[in-house]
Structure 1
């Protein structure tokens, strides 16, 4: 039986707020330097927001030690937000080195390029770790019938 946990409720709330931010960002796509990158940021926000809300709904099924459960929950939150924020900064500044497909034809100063690279890479590693932990934490449900 799925029940709502405190971490689950927090993930759902953060996911819904993040979804709202993604919707607002969608309306602002035409006003940034790189609208293609802004579209990528908008899609990242709404997709990651839905993932967080889903994680919250199923959180009671996750069986991990408390430390790893916390890393999985908040690692996914911070990882997803870092990726989105890096992409959003790239859309405003024109940074393109870390995201060359959406950034094709644009460039920014060294500081902006470095900031975006660090945010996107750190967020990617955090979310990869968090989702790996989540997958391991859900393994016990496969044995239930």
Structure 2
């Protein structure tokens, strides 16, 4: 059965904070330099927040060694936040090299472009690894259901 764990509760809280940030960002879309990028950040925040909240609810089903489980949980949370933060910085500054579709027609100085690229790529890699671990952590419960 599902039970709410301490890690699960923390993931839900982080998810709801990110959800709130996404809602606020949605209201500010017309105020930033690149509104297309801000919309992307808004959607990223809302979607990643829901994923974190769902993960928090089902956390008791994940079967991984303790350190791997902690890495998976907080890797997802920090990875999602880094992606959102990178997109948000890009929307405010006009940085576009890391996200050329949403950033078409905009640019920023080399330092900001690099900062956005590092945040988005690091967040993407971190969340990809963490989510992959989570899938492996859910295999036992899936096999039990067969």
Q: Provide TM-score, normalisation by structure 2.
A: 0.98
**In 1, Cα distance between the equivalents of 2:117 and 2:14?**
24
Deviations 1:45-81 (A, max 9, x none): 0000000000000000000000000000000011000
Q: How many residues align?
A: 145
Q: What are the equivalent positions in structure 2 for 1:1-145 lying under 5 Å apart?
A: 1-145=1-145
Following TM superposition, by how much is the alpha carbon of 1:143 offset from its aligned partner in structure 2, in angstroms? 2.0
Q: How far apart in 1 are the matches of 2:102 and 2:142?
A: 39
Q: CA RMSD in A?
A: 0.5
* Separation (CA, whole Å) in 2 of partners of 1:129 and 1:138: 15
1:21-67 alpha-carbon deviations (Å, 9 max, x no partner): 10000000000000000000000000000000000000000000000
SS in 2 for 1:96: coil
TM-score, normalised relative to structure 1: 0.99
Gaps of 5+ in 2: none
* Runs of 4+ residues over 6 Å off in structure 1: none
